[in-house]
Structure 1
Amino acid sequence: MTTGQQWDIVTSVGLTALGVAAARALETHREDRLMSDPFAAAFVKAADAPAPMPTSPEEVAQLPADSIWAQAQMEDYMGVRSRCFDDFFTEAGEAGIRQAVILASGLDARAHRLDWAKGTTVFEIDQPKVLEFKQTVLDGLDAAPKCAHRPVPIDLREDWASALISAGFDPEAPTAWLAEGLLPYLPPEAEQQLLAGIDKLSASGSRLAVEDFQNVTRLFEDENLAEFGQEWGIDMRELLHSDDRPESPDVLRGFGWEVESEGAEDKALRYGRDLNGMFGQMADAGRFVVARKTA
């Protein structure tokens, strides 16, 4: 991403969010699904994407045999990732946390599909056009959130903290934060500013879940990821940042957070999924980080 760049749901980073929604829709069709998203397919259909975005096995079967959708099974990784962070929010609720913030939420529909603890408020931060599109589709489905749902339409490169507080966020209350599919799109300095901002707004007892990659440059070696970009008409290398940066777990430990990290492949095996050969470098480099603020 570059400073000042904006997008809707069928361009740039917005298009990748649409692809993730398609993968969640495919995961939802599996008998061994790890999560269910009844809204994902509707988002994809409403967007009229400029590239194939199948939402069912039947639609995948209609694509050419060399389509990346027919080969890579993107839903395997996205099913694991979504389940991991669904569990994170469930566990946060069980621990008494009643405030959640989803950063760069994209087409995440957790506010509407998860069973939140009574009294929970969920804030979603993303580009205004993305949030507007998502809400329009949800309204068309008469979908009601299962929590107090507060979209915050702002770019994370702007003063999102002030916008969040203006939307009713309470920095004195413990918060469950999520950064899913976000950090690789940020340059190093923006990532550090984001984590510092989260730390500043987090009361004791807050938790943070992050999808992280131990070496972002390894993603550029992932042929499946590159082919997805080509099939969507975008160059992922123009969106991702491969610059050297401090490891996010180390940054959070430096702020005094307790940090646990688990590789994507290990997490998948605990869920009964094998990611070997699926998205190659992404599965190998990916990890899920959960941090807790104790002071």
Structure 2
Amino acid sequence: MDASPLNGVGGTSLGVARARAWESRRPDRLFDDPYAAAFVAAGGSGGRAPLSPARARLAFHVIIRTRFYDDFLLAACDSGCRQVVLLAAGLDTRAYRLPWPPTVTLYELDLPEVLAFKDRVLTGAGTEPRCARTALPVDLRDDWPRRLTDAGFDVSAPTAWLVEGLLVYLSPEDADRVLSRVGALSAPGSRISFEHNNAASVIAEEDRGGIEEYAELWQGGLGDTAGRLDGDGWQTEVHELADVAASYGRPAPSSSLSGFLTATR
């Protein structure tokens, strides 16, 4: 396929797709993303040198978080959410691979070049989403709430929000603004999940060999995200990566200190 490689923050989505493609080839896989390998091939990222320790830790994190967020979103829909919003959707294919309940509408927000690349690959694969899907090309530092409501988002309905792999690439001010906007759009019964203790805080600078293309883009995000949400009317819960991984039968590397946060309005 003739598709331009993604660069900058958008290019990190190819690294995520690579990890998902690896996992999908395992006989004991935690999920199956049948489109991840196509993204990697189209992005010109098929070959890689052996994993550095830091890259292996990040890949492990991506694999565990993919399954964790799959489970989170389906559980949120079981609880009554019929709107799902993926902020910084990247090359996520949950609209195409998860068994969504009837009447679910899924909104994907990301940079225009990321969504255009994604749609070219998926169109070439001849696949169709398994729920109503609306893709909105936006910069999440701009006025994305207006774009979302203009596209049909109902602020009075409970929503499942996923902020996957985004906050670390934002400044503290921009990360706080994203969460404030999510709060303003979230009716009672809404749920949200994102990373707790992101990679920038758990992988020391001297241990980042092999992941420089990611680390140079990290801007820190927020520190006490649980406290930030608690103060905005959410009830939060932290899920440590090691505990989540163990529940899936995958022992976590001892140096993996990250995890996930879920919250309910």
Give distance in 2, aligned partners of 1:91 and 1:258. 16
Say which SS state the counterpart of residue 67 (structure 2) adopts. helix
Give distance in 2, aligned partners of 1:83 and 1:43. 19
Question: 4+ runs of 1 displaced by more than 6 Å?
Answer: none
CA contact 1:9–1:17 (8 Å) conserved in 2 = no
Query: Which of 256, 261, 285 is the equivalent residue of 2:233?
Result: 256
Partner of 2:99: 115
The aligned amino acid for 2:116 is E
**Compared CA separation, residues 222 and 150, structure 1 to 2 (3 A):** farther
Cα shift at 1:77: 2.4
1:101 aligns with 2:95: no
Partner of 2:35: 39
**Compared CA separation, residues 33 and 124, structure 1 to 2 (3 A):** same
CA contact 2:81–2:158 (8 Å) conserved in 1 = yes
Partner of 1:167: 151
Give distance in 2, aligned partners of 1:217 and 1:82. 20
Task: Give the percent of matched residue pairs that are identical in Structure 1 and Structure 2.
Answer: 41
Cα shift at 1:237: 3.5
Query: Which of 224, 228, 231 is the equivalent residue of 2:211?
Result: 228
The aligned amino acid for 2:234 is W
Cα shift at 1:9: 5.0
The aligned amino acid for 2:161 is W
Query: Which of 249, 252, 255 is the equivalent residue of 1:275?
Result: 252
CA contact 1:183–1:212 (8 Å) conserved in 2 = no
User: Counterparts of 1:117-136 in structure 2 under 5 Å?
Assistant: 117-136=101-120
Q: Which moved more, 1:209-218 or 1:180-189?
A: 209-218
What whole-Å deviation, never above 9, does each CA across 1:83-122 have from its counterpart, x for those lacking one? 0000011101111211000000100010111111100000
**Compared CA separation, residues 43 and 214, structure 1 to 2 (3 A):** closer
Say which SS state the counterpart of residue 132 (structure 1) adopts. helix
Cα shift at 1:10: 2.3
Say which SS state the counterpart of residue 136 (structure 2) adopts. strand
User: Where does structure 2 lack aligned partners over 5 or more consecutive residues?
Assistant: none
Partner of 1:211: 195
**Compared CA separation, residues 161 and 289, structure 1 to 2 (3 A):** same
CA contact 1:128–1:153 (8 Å) conserved in 2 = yes
1:287 aligns with 2:259: yes
> How many pairs align?
262
1:242 aligns with 2:238: no
Give distance in 2, aligned partners of 1:212 and 1:73. 15
CA contact 2:200–2:215 (8 Å) conserved in 1 = no
User: Where does structure 1 lack aligned partners over 5 or more consecutive residues?
Assistant: 1-7, 55-62
The aligned amino acid for 1:253 is D
Say which SS state the counterpart of residue 227 (structure 1) adopts. coil
Return the TM-score normalized by structure 2: 0.92
CA contact 1:35–1:83 (8 Å) conserved in 2 = yes
CA contact 2:168–2:198 (8 Å) conserved in 1 = no
CA contact 1:27–1:75 (8 Å) conserved in 2 = no
Cα shift at 1:76: 2.9
User: Counterparts of 1:80-99 in structure 2 under 5 Å?
Assistant: 80-99=64-83
Query: Which of 11, 18, 22 is the equivalent residue of 1:22?
Result: 18
Cα shift at 1:15: 1.8
Cα shift at 1:219: 2.8
**Compared CA separation, residues 131 and 275, structure 1 to 2 (3 A):** same
Give distance in 2, aligned partners of 1:292 and 1:110. 21
Query: For the aligned residues, what is the CA RMSD?
Result: 2.1
Partner of 2:166: 182
Give distance in 1, aligned partners of 2:51 and 2:199. 27
